[in-house]
Amino acid sequence: MSDQIRQAIETTAKGPQSVRTDAGEVHAQDITKQIEADKYLSAKAAVQQKNRGLRFNKFLPPGTY
């Protein structure tokens, strides 16, 4: 899912913000809002991982179980 979001951000950054033709008018999402959404979803995915990068271990000398 994050690859789709990153691809959408790249596409929006390369394209115009709004397009008007005889058929209608199209406005792209604001790039800052898309970047904020990507940061939010990345942080949410990081929190849901089992291994979050911080682990506490207690070392016991042999024979002290």
The two tokens of residue 58 are 């207690």
Instruction: Check if the beta carbon of residue 10 is closer than 8 Å to that of residue 35.
Output: no
Q: Model-level pTM?
A: 0.51
Q: What is the pLDDT of residue 40?
A: 84
Query: Does residue 13 register a pLDDT over 70?
Result: yes
Q: What is the pLDDT of residue 1?
A: 61
Residue 31: partners with Cβ closer than 8 Å, 6 or more residues away? 9, 12, 13
Query: How sure is the predictor about 28, in pLDDT bands with cuts at 50, 70 and 90?
Result: confident
Q: What is the pLDDT of the chain when averaged over all its residues? A: 80
35-64 residue pLDDT tens = 888 888 888 887 777 776 677 888 888 887
